[in-house]
Structure 1
Amino acid sequence: MIRLTQLLLAFVLLSLNVAHLHAQTPRASDDLTDIEVISVTASKRLQALNDVSASVSVIDRASIERIEAQHINQVLSRVAGTWISRGNGQEHLTAIRSPVLTGAGGCGAFFMALDGISLRGPGFCNANQLFDANSEQAGRIEVLKGPASTLYGTNAVHGAINIITQDAFDQNESTLGLQVGAYDFARLSTQLGWQNNTQALRLLSHIEQENGYQTNSGYDQQKATVIYQQRSDTWDVKSVLDVSNLHQETAGFIRGFESYKDEEFRRINPNPEAFRDAKSLRFYTRLTRDFNNSTVSFTPYVRWNEMTFLQHFLPWQALEENSHSSLGLQVQYDTQFAGAQWISGIDIDATFANLNETQAEDFSPNIPAGDHYDYDVDATALAAFTQAQWQWDAFALKLGGRLERTQYDYDNLLEGNSACAPSVAVCRFTRPPDQRISFSAFSPSATLEYRVSEHIFSYLKYSKGFRAPEATELFRLQNNQFTTDFEEVDIDAFELGMRVDYQTHSLHASIYDMHKNNVIIRDTQRQNIAGGETAHQGFELEYMWHISERLRASSNLTWQKHTYQNDIAISNESIKGNRVDTSPNQMYGARVNWQATDTLEAELAWQYLSDYYLDPENTAEYEGHSLLDLSINVAINKKVSAKISVFNLTDEDYAERADFAFGGYRYFVGQPRRAFVSVNWII
């Protein structure tokens, strides 16, 4: 059993060892030092990563371009404490210091953003929403682990993923890229840039298609980002337009114990009729002005999302159509006052949403054909936050708080409160009456920082995260449930962390202990109830070592334990103390990067996922897996480079995600060994 005291002892021993290493290691040559990595997500201002008193990991642009991922999980698997569980096509589920969570509670537990603006409206998330953003051409991707509600508000419960767009002034090259590979995968990408002393324009786009490993499982995807920036003596301006379009033929779960090991069966798509169409648009303009000791910024934005998909994961396969559009404003003011560095702001978001669910054919009397739901929800989220930091020699104290109010105005567009005939006693789909409901929450945080030396930085942090219930948890009810009585889901988190940046070594280690309350679940009667409690504890380590000028090694290690703390009604037996399903105890990753010559670079990457339970009773289990990937990049000349990537080099049979539902095992299939070749030109 992982206990906080044991983790604390391990952390102290690690600190002493690192301090000893600092005292003994001879000085290395300066040419081995990387360019300083910066982060904005943890503090809402640019800050050197080694000064950040939080668990933030940064995947920089060079790494994103080196990986050339076909799926976002190939990038974020390099972050300790994070698992983006790959579904079929571009689908995914997320875990950050958590189990893999599903449904509205899954996406609602994570704040996912483009340049600090939520990808979807508060209360209207989707579990697969990372496919909305152009992460493939991002300037960097930042992952903040643990609650971040003080600065970001609702949904920042277990963590945040912030996709940072490129700085148009920093990028002057125009490039063209072509990548082809397994299962008829093809991607054409362009990056075009123009700038002068005061203005810069960046146009990023890519189109791709794949026919899929399983039958009838291909997808087409297009994304584009337009970045315009202007500098002046008064205001700096950055405007970003980000759009995406996805059309996917989805392969569903294959069923049967360890069916993913059957070479022929795993290529079958049991749901050839399944599909997902998703479109999105985000636009914002950020105006920033510096004064003597202060900075103010205004960021008005709009967003629009539309998605249609067949619910292939349910036996009756209803069709869902959802959409929402939003208007928002972020105002932020940074200043120095009363001996402290202050950051304060207000966030305003107004969203107008609709959800419609229909079924083509009758499944049973209580699961009939026709309209199940059709409703509009107008939502507003208003928040004010502040955070201050005081410095005393090697110590610093940071205190913050956020007050937020979310309101939903719900309008049922269908007649009656049930989708079934009057003779049906218990209908699967019930519709609550029109209503207006609101939620308010306060999220404090406190951090004590201590700089041990020039190269060693430590911190102790408390933070509280929260989320208002998602609209679907409130209004998409089942089995004769017509009302809900929910409070905000909240989490209390303690974290002890240390960063080391010395010579050829870079390390971040942290231990955490979190307790989540008022968890909303769907019980054994198919009704939405609150009152669940879960505990989350773990130790994370990220380490990089520049072995020589041409050889670099890095690793990310995660030990974690996620448990049920009470007998919530998702099982007919006691589950208190059991592991939360789909939460591996260990997740490891390691990479070796070798710059063999000035024109030849190779990287070998290893990823390990331990076994995990598939049900709350902890009776069904997946054995885990280990994957090995290889990439080789060759610079043909100053303008042309070529690359080959081989994934699952050892051709292991594995499941991207294992599950146990409707009385049996089911799996999203992991793909066998496959290769991709790309060519990139500077134009």
Structure 2
Amino acid sequence: MAGFALMMALPQAGAAEPKAEQSLVLDELIVTTTGFGTPRATHTGNIAKIGEFEMEFIRPAQPAEALNRLPGVGIQQGSGAEHLTAIRSPVLTGGAGAGSFLYLEDGVPMRAAGFANVNALMEAMDEISGGVEVIRGPGGARYGSNAEHGLINFLSRPPAPDGDAELTLWGGPHDFYRTSGTASRTLRSGDSTTHGFRGSFAMLHDGGFRADSGLEQQKARLRYDYAAFDTRITATLTAVNTNQETAGFVRGVKAYKNPALYRGNPDPEAYRDAWAVRTAVRMERDIGENLMLVLTPYARSNAMDFLMHFLPGKPVEKNAHWSGGLLSSLVTTLDGGHRIIFGLDNEYTDGWLTEIQYNPTAGIAPNQSPQGVHYDYAVKALVLAPYVHSEWRLAPKTLFTAGLRFEYTRYDYQNYAPVGISGRFLRIPDRVDEFGDFTPKIGLLHEFNEGLTTYVNLARGTRAPQTTDLYRLQRLQVPGEAKSEELDSIEVGARGRISGVTYETNLFYMEKRNYYFRDAGGFNVTDGRTDHAGIEIELSAPLAFGFDIAAAGTYARHTYAFTNITPSEKIRDGDDVDTAPRTLGNLRLGYNFNEGAGRAELEWVHMGSYWMNAGNTVKYDGHDIFNLRLDYEVSENVVLFGKLTNIMNTRYADRADYSDMGMGEERYFPGADRGLYMGVTLRY
């Protein structure tokens, strides 16, 4: 895990950490497991962490640049802030892409479960970060819908004990400019009570390397920490605004290599505007010697308006929802090192969506996408989820974990468009849908010695259908036929340190049922099945003369486990799922110089080849990209940094796709040319 890879822990410039704390240690604390600090070495199952200082060193233009350093993670960047995610999965789109991954901020979902966003990382604030933790495969019993293929937990930066302040400015090609800053202060009273405050902001302007594209983002966060003898409170308020001029697919055989095409934009009118505001207050109260109550009320509001340039007729979608809830748990510690967490999560959401096509459809099958209202509906949702998570110390070096979650979901749908079929679109009458899902988890971990800790983990992940799965229907579909997806997973892993090499590796196998996706003809499939199997490895080690090396690699197969033959697409049992590279890799050679004041890193990013269509007839060849990063601490208050991306100026595609409709065509999001970025951080 490349958090597990503070990858040689980056003695990076400006990090005032002592050397001993910069080396990679297995007892680094993680919070995603139980909500409290838990040593990574005793986590039953995989978990990766990219720490605060590594995030500062990477300085990702978009979160994918950092997250793709982890094994099993392959996020494909689209235009601007757009992206599609893969975590132990193919790159998933639509409701599957939105609903199969859980995105958290300090353990609280950033969106309501049935109203997820396929571009969810655009709502994260990674510029001023306390780190990122990632679990691949189903999350634990503490996490419900969407923690199916994996979860990403963004940690806000806490106030510094003695206060701090910093301002960062950097720029690059195509009018790329980013400014971010943060400041904190901690106050102490005589009774050991502390009040900590932190304010952070980030602003981005990116002109885009393709025609008629660009991105503007503004982000801000306030955090307050309170600590007393028996009470701890953390409160956050985060706001994100995104305004994007979107560049669509370039089309044609190997179009991403064509000098006349790859910088162009066939959809100059495309755009995406979105904002999100969320707040949460985590309160911990010791109510007994071995008993603690944790309450986290939260609220959020989101809205988005964008042109669906990837669909016939290019309709405009507008959606919004507000939601609020309470995460509650009772934590008891028993003699012998055992712990039990009893929890109850509840959430209420009120959302709406419209899809309207303002112009006639040109080209293929205009009657399938008529001008006018396609969908106009509202959904009220209620989620109730009791759970139990337990940890049993069977022996000093053996830990058994078991958990069970039940999640009840109720959707109350109201339709405001004419009922019936219009082209390919089906608008259904008002209805109520309910789902009940159990997710059991068990795991066993044993520490043989410092060099070897092994674990086995069995888990089920589920997701109730997204509201778009249920109510944005196509003709020939039957209302209510979508079921909750289920994914059963087993993984066997080992971690440790041998002769200075820190490692983690695991084997996994997963089966998914009720896979809901849109086929190449644009119609929804409600009962797909897929299998997923692979091996992941992560290594890091110091070398001589200030050098160190770190690597993350994945070999996996994601295959269809059913057959579905249609005029537009042929899915066969055993074929690879489209956009599912078998190999992913990241290798980094680091060098610390001038007694740790400076750090340089050469990075190799590998994306294996993959099929662009479900019929396995058109393939993207994959790519290898090299990047260089450099930080240098000029003084205690000034850090200079830079990075050179795509050193070899390789022509590659961030995303390769194939449309089987009509005569069929290759479609690509071209990767950016070589780019030089430089900046400065001022610390006070």
Q: Describe the SS at the equivalent of 2:95.
A: helix
1:128 aligns with 2:126: no
CA distance in 2, matches of 1:87, 1:149: 30
Q: Select 2:206's aligned residue among 203, 210, 214.
A: 210
Task: Quote the offset at 1:460 in angstroms.
Answer: 0.8
Partner of 1:451: 447
1:143 aligns with 2:134: yes
CA distance in 1, matches of 2:55, 2:621: 30
CA distance in 2, matches of 1:49, 1:264: 50
Structure 1 residues 181 and 522 mapped into 2: Cα distance closer, same or farther (>3 Å)?
closer
Q: Describe the SS at the equivalent of 1:237.
A: strand
Tell me if the contact between 1:358 and 1:372 (Cα under 8 Å) persists in the aligned partners: yes
CA distance in 2, matches of 1:391, 1:149: 18
Task: Quote the offset at 1:283 in angstroms.
Answer: 0.2
RMSD between superposed Cα atoms in Å = 1.7
Partner of 2:268: 272
Partner of 1:513: 509
Partner of 2:4: none
Q: Select 1:263's aligned residue among 251, 259, 262.
A: 259
CA distance in 1, matches of 2:161, 2:20: 24
CA distance in 1, matches of 2:428, 2:229: 55
| Higher alpha-carbon deviation: 136-145 or 481-490 | 481-490
Amino acid at match of 2:179: L
CA distance in 1, matches of 2:217, 2:496: 41
What per-residue deviation string (whole Å, max 9, x for no partner) do you get for residues 628-678 of structure 1?
000111222221111111000011000001000131100001011101001
Amino acid at match of 2:631: N
Q: Select 2:605's aligned residue among 600, 604, 607.
A: 607
Partner of 2:346: 348
Amino acid at match of 1:245: N
Q: How does 1:571-586 map to 2 (within 5 A)?
A: 572-573=569-570, 575-586=572-583
Q: Select 2:619's aligned residue among 610, 618, 621.
A: 621
CA distance in 1, matches of 2:450, 2:598: 35
| Higher alpha-carbon deviation: 566-575 or 590-599 | 566-575
Q: Select 1:106's aligned residue among 76, 87, 97.
A: 97
Task: Quote the offset at 1:169 in angstroms.
Answer: 4.1
Q: Select 1:395's aligned residue among 398, 419, 438.
A: 398
CA distance in 1, matches of 2:72, 2:161: 31
TM-score, length of structure 1 as denominator length: 0.92
Tell me if the contact between 2:312 and 2:369 (Cα under 8 Å) persists in the aligned partners: no
Structure 1 residues 402 and 483 mapped into 2: Cα distance closer, same or farther (>3 Å)?
same
CA distance in 2, matches of 1:274, 1:646: 29
Partner of 2:673: 672
Structure 1 residues 171 and 128 mapped into 2: Cα distance closer, same or farther (>3 Å)?
farther
Amino acid at match of 1:417: G
Partner of 1:23: none
CA distance in 2, matches of 1:574, 1:105: 17
Gaps of 5+ in 2: 1-18, 189-193
Partner of 2:537: 541
Task: Quote the offset at 1:81 in angstroms.
Answer: 0.3
Task: Quote the offset at 1:574 in angstroms.
Answer: 5.1
1:163 aligns with 2:154: yes
| Higher alpha-carbon deviation: 46-55 or 239-248 | 46-55
Partner of 1:416: 419
Amino acid at match of 2:266: P
Q: Describe the SS at the equivalent of 2:367.
A: coil
Task: Quote the offset at 1:367 in angstroms.
Answer: 1.9
Task: Quote the offset at 1:333 in angstroms.
Answer: 1.6
| Higher alpha-carbon deviation: 278-287 or 337-346 | 337-346
Amino acid at match of 1:679: V
CA distance in 1, matches of 2:383, 2:446: 36
Task: Quote the offset at 1:368 in angstroms.
Answer: 1.8
CA distance in 1, matches of 2:645, 2:132: 22
Structure 1 residues 681 and 92 mapped into 2: Cα distance closer, same or farther (>3 Å)?
same
What per-residue deviation string (whole Å, max 9, x for no partner) do you get for residues 73-123 of structure 1?
110111000011100101000000000000011121111111111111111
CA distance in 1, matches of 2:37, 2:498: 21
CA distance in 2, matches of 1:32, 1:518: 45
Structure 1 residues 175 and 572 mapped into 2: Cα distance closer, same or farther (>3 Å)?
closer
CA distance in 1, matches of 2:44, 2:512: 22
Amino acid at match of 1:475: Y
| Higher alpha-carbon deviation: 647-656 or 107-116 | 107-116
| Higher alpha-carbon deviation: 143-152 or 497-506 | 497-506
Structure 1 residues 33 and 64 mapped into 2: Cα distance closer, same or farther (>3 Å)?
closer
Amino acid at match of 1:605: E
Partner of 2:590: 593
CA distance in 2, matches of 1:614, 1:402: 37
CA distance in 2, matches of 1:495, 1:480: 39
Tell me if the contact between 2:346 and 2:385 (Cα under 8 Å) persists in the aligned partners: yes
Tell me if the contact between 2:90 and 2:558 (Cα under 8 Å) persists in the aligned partners: yes
Amino acid at match of 1:181: G
Q: Describe the SS at the equivalent of 1:106.
A: helix
Tell me if the contact between 2:571 and 2:614 (Cα under 8 Å) persists in the aligned partners: no
Q: Select 1:373's aligned residue among 353, 372, 375.
A: 375
Amino acid at match of 1:590: L
| Higher alpha-carbon deviation: 491-500 or 256-265 | 256-265
Task: Quote the offset at 1:49 in angstroms.
Answer: 1.3
Tell me if the contact between 1:326 and 1:351 (Cα under 8 Å) persists in the aligned partners: yes
1:243 aligns with 2:239: yes
Partner of 2:12: none
CA distance in 2, matches of 1:47, 1:193: 26
Amino acid at match of 1:274: A
CA distance in 2, matches of 1:589, 1:145: 17
Structure 1 residues 502 and 293 mapped into 2: Cα distance closer, same or farther (>3 Å)?
farther
Structure 1 residues 468 and 245 mapped into 2: Cα distance closer, same or farther (>3 Å)?
same
1:75 aligns with 2:66: yes
Structure 1 residues 351 and 549 mapped into 2: Cα distance closer, same or farther (>3 Å)?
farther
CA distance in 1, matches of 2:155, 2:545: 29
Partner of 2:177: 186
Q: Select 1:487's aligned residue among 483, 487, 512.
A: 483
Q: How does 1:469-480 map to 2 (within 5 A)?
A: 469-480=465-476
What per-residue deviation string (whole Å, max 9, x for no partner) do you get for residues 356-409 of structure 1?
111111223342222111100000111011111211223221111001100100
Amino acid at match of 1:105: A
Amino acid at match of 1:477: L
What per-residue deviation string (whole Å, max 9, x for no partner) do you get for residues 438-492 of structure 1?
0001110111111111342111110001000110010001225351322210011
Amino acid at match of 1:604: L
Q: Select 2:328's aligned residue among 328, 331, 344.
A: 331
Partner of 1:7: none
Partner of 1:314: 311
Q: Select 1:556's aligned residue among 536, 552, 555.
A: 552
Partner of 2:8: none
Amino acid at match of 1:104: G
Q: Describe the SS at the equivalent of 1:63.
A: helix
Gaps of 5+ in 1: 1-28, 421-426
Tell me if the contact between 1:430 and 1:482 (Cα under 8 Å) persists in the aligned partners: no
Q: Select 2:291's aligned residue among 291, 294, 299.
A: 294
CA distance in 2, matches of 1:206, 1:525: 41
Partner of 2:644: 646
Structure 1 residues 334 and 455 mapped into 2: Cα distance closer, same or farther (>3 Å)?
farther
Tell me if the contact between 2:161 and 2:186 (Cα under 8 Å) persists in the aligned partners: no
CA distance in 2, matches of 1:533, 1:542: 29
TM-score, length of structure 2 as denominator length: 0.92
Tell me if the contact between 2:94 and 2:518 (Cα under 8 Å) persists in the aligned partners: no
Tell me if the contact between 1:432 and 1:482 (Cα under 8 Å) persists in the aligned partners: no
CA distance in 2, matches of 1:586, 1:249: 32
Task: Quote the offset at 1:32 in angstroms.
Answer: 7.7
Amino acid at match of 1:362: P
Partner of 2:16: none
Tell me if the contact between 1:133 and 1:242 (Cα under 8 Å) persists in the aligned partners: no
CA distance in 2, matches of 1:31, 1:245: 36
Task: Quote the offset at 1:546 in angstroms.
Answer: 1.8
